[in-house]
Structure 1
Amino acid sequence: MQKYLRIVYVVAICLAVGYLSSLVTAESVKTWYPTLKKPFFNPPNWIFAPVWSLLYVLMGIAGGLVWNQLENNRELVKKGLFFFTVQLLLNALWSYLFFGLHNILLAVIEIILLWLIVFETYLIFKKIDKTAAKLFIPYILWISFATILTIFIYILNF
């Protein structure tokens, strides 16, 4: 598979995961989420879709760049892509726990695990492709913010 096709393929997978996650959140954003107490730094709802779309594209490019290094460092790339896949699944799981099940405590626990896996993915990517690692930095920052936001929402609604 050509290098660019790998990147396009991984971007498409990331966007598909984002789309599926949005299906879980759509109803709750209109019904349940507005009833929650939120901290003063909670962003407006309209910001989430464009931010996540951008993050999924950056994440996909990073994953594709790492996949392109398979011939150069097979074991490390396989490890990096494993962690990448796990973080992508955990990313989708958070939406299900928070918006689907309305279980904020489980979402807090899960997003902390997600942050750890995302950071580990970043560290592995950094050993494989510096550009891929840099593309993960906005994601790490957003997940850090989302972790703090989720914790505050839990505290305010406990």
Structure 2
Amino acid sequence: MSEYIRPAFAIILPNLGGIAGGFITKKSIPDWYENLHRPSWRPPNYLFAPVWTFLYSSMGYASYLVWRDGGGFDGDAKLPLALFGTQLALNWAWTPIFFGLRKMGLATIEIGVLWGTVAATIVSFHPVNTTASYLLIPYLGWLTLASALTFNIWKNNKDRRD
């Protein structure tokens, strides 16, 4: 039974922060975000929740694979899992910074640090479980888009509260 519980827990955990962030985001979209100058190339709002659900689930499963194949927190997986936890905390922090505090400049810096931490996580996952590192590549791709979007919104809305 634990062969199913552990991966399920690993998949659910990242989504919990995403769900919490969704409550913050939902409140800010109509009265703030929709009134910002946003680029024409931004994805439609309805895509963010399903994309993040897929990405959180993929990254959670990837962390499980590394935990399983790398000897848990006492084995070769120690550093990769520490990086994973760091990037997850940074990921969860972006939403309250951007949508909650409406600090677009700080969110731009934070997402840049997040991007670097995710890249380091991918590199550290690779020797432990190659599939796990590949599972994080779509996340890095979406994060690249989100980083460009965050920067663009900050650049084009500097006159707003930040």
TM-score (structure 2 length as normaliser): 0.92
Q: Tell me the secondary structure at the aligned position of residue 9 of structure 2.
A: helix
Secondary structure class of the residue paired with 2:13: helix
Describe the shift of the 1:72–1:42 C-alpha distance in structure 2 as closer, same or farther (beyond 3 A). Answer: closer
Quote the RMSD (CA, aligned, Å). 1.6
CA distance in 1, matches of 2:58, 2:48: 15
Give aligned-pair identity as a percent. Answer: 38
> Which TM-score applies when normalising by structure 1?
0.95
Question: Counterpart of 1:34 in structure 2: which amino acid?
Answer: E
Identify which of structures 1 and 2 has the higher relative contact order when contacts are C-alpha pairs closer than 8 Å and 6+ apart. 1
What displacement does 1:17 show?
1.2
For 1:95 and 1:52, how far apart are their aligned partners in 2?
12
> C-alpha distance in 2, partners of 1:38/1:72?
43
Q: For 1:37, what is the secondary structure of its paired residue? A: coil
After TM superposition, the structure 1 = structure 2 runs for residues 4-153 of structure 1, keeping only pairs within 5 Å, are: 4-71=4-71, 74-153=74-153
| Distance apart, 1:71 and its partner CA | 2.7
| Contact 1:66–1:129 under 8 Å retained in 2 | yes
Contact 1:3 1:68 in 2 (8 A): no
| Cα contact 1:76–1:124 (8 A) shared by 2 | no
Contact kept, 8 Å, 1:7 with 1:61, in 2: the verdict is: yes
- Do the aligned partners of residues 35 and 77 (structure 1) sit closer, same or farther apart at CA in structure 2, a change above 3 Å counting? same
- Counting matched residue pairs gives 158
Aligned-pair CA distance for 1:24: 1.5
Deviation at 1:74, TM superposition (A): 4.2
**d(CA) in 2 for partners of 1:68 and 1:88?**
19
Tell me which amino acid in the other structure corresponds to 1:123: V
Contiguous gaps of at least 5 residues in structure 2: none
- Structure 1: tracts of 5 or more residues without a match: none
Shift of 1:3: 3.9
Cα deviation, residue 70, structure 1: 3.3
Shift of 1:14: 0.9
Kindly provide the amino acid, as one letter, of the partner of residue 132 in structure 2. Answer: A
